Structure 1
Amino acid sequence: MRIMGLDYGERRIGVAVSDAFGWTAQGIEVIDRKFVSDELARVAELVEQYEVESLVVGLPKNMNGSIGPSGEICMAFAERLRQKLSMPVQLWDERLTTVAAERTLLEADVSRKKRKQVVDKMAAAILLQNYLDSRAK
């Protein structure tokens, strides 16, 4: 059962998918909303291509656990996905996933230009891996 993780941002959406067993997450794409007119249609294409059965959308919470404006936007995106794709969509706390992705890329000495291209995809993979790990317990 493949699961897709989405790190929804203002400009870009990081996309990751699990392996067929739901054990590991791999980043697959960054959807640049500046160049893609219908991000829901692109997600639907990826769902079909990777035979995904459920989605996990990152929910950016404030450090105190409350949900701010960004979180509400992600909740609305998750609801639009549910309606368009008619499949389970979970919201998952994504606090600090982008920070963790940035730190990992910095430690790997990845150039600023390359980091910008992959950080969202890597954040989606971290978010999805956290979700997969929580299910295994």
Structure 2
Amino acid sequence: MSLDYGEKRVGVAVTDPLNIFAYPVTTLDNDSNLIANILKLIDEYNVIKIIIGNPLKENGEESKVSLIVKDFSRKLRNACGIEIELVDERYTSHMAQRRIIESVPTKKKRKDKGLIDKNAAAIMLEDYLRKKSN
């Protein structure tokens, strides 16, 4: 499972059982129910590892949001006991936006921010799976 963590929303993507393909699943509100909602998805999809996007600065250094993501990942790890790995998420939202423009026909649907979040999570997971298989 991968998570594209944001202050308002968290995009979620998972893999197929053979860990070959990544696909966007949902976008969760970043509220007091976030961890409980993620735990439900962990059970539903039999998740054994979680990848969370680490929003690094352009030069590769940690950003202020990186600290928030690290804190969130610790809380989630404590709640679920599953291995969590932080990965560089630079450019994933931009790539997701381009993918949506190419595949979603109507402008109204393209403006759905949740669509970008869950597709960014899928792009992160695809990249992770590709690197892992090499």
Same fold (TM over 0.5): yes
Q: Which runs of 5+ in 2 are unaligned?
A: none
- Equivalent position of 1:125 in the other structure: 122
Residues in 2 aligned to 1:109 and 1:84: alpha-carbon distance in whole angstroms: 36
Q: Deviations over 1:15-52 (max 9, x none)?
A: 0001111111011000022xx53100000000001111
- Equivalent position of 1:102 in the other structure: 97
The Cα shift of 1:89 comes to 0.3
Residues in 1 aligned to 2:108 and 2:29: alpha-carbon distance in whole angstroms: 15
Identity of aligned residues (%): 36
Residues in 2 aligned to 1:110 and 1:124: alpha-carbon distance in whole angstroms: 21
- Equivalent position of 2:72 in the other structure: 77
Question: 2:13 aligned to 6, 16, 28, which one?
Answer: 16
Q: Secondary structure of the equivalent of 1:52?
A: coil
- Equivalent position of 1:134 in the other structure: 131
- Equivalent position of 1:54 in the other structure: 49
The Cα shift of 1:70 comes to 1.2
One-letter code of the match for 1:85?
C
Question: 2:109 aligned to 111, 114, 117, which one?
Answer: 114
In the alignment, structure 1 residue 89 sits paired with structure 2 residue 74? no
Q: Which runs of 5+ in 1 are unaligned?
A: none
Aligned residues: 132
TM-score, length of structure 1 as denominator length: 0.90
The Cα shift of 1:107 comes to 2.8
RMSD over aligned CA atoms reads: 1.3
Q: Deviations over 1:46-103 (max 9, x none)?
A: 0001111110000011110001111111111111111110110000101000000011
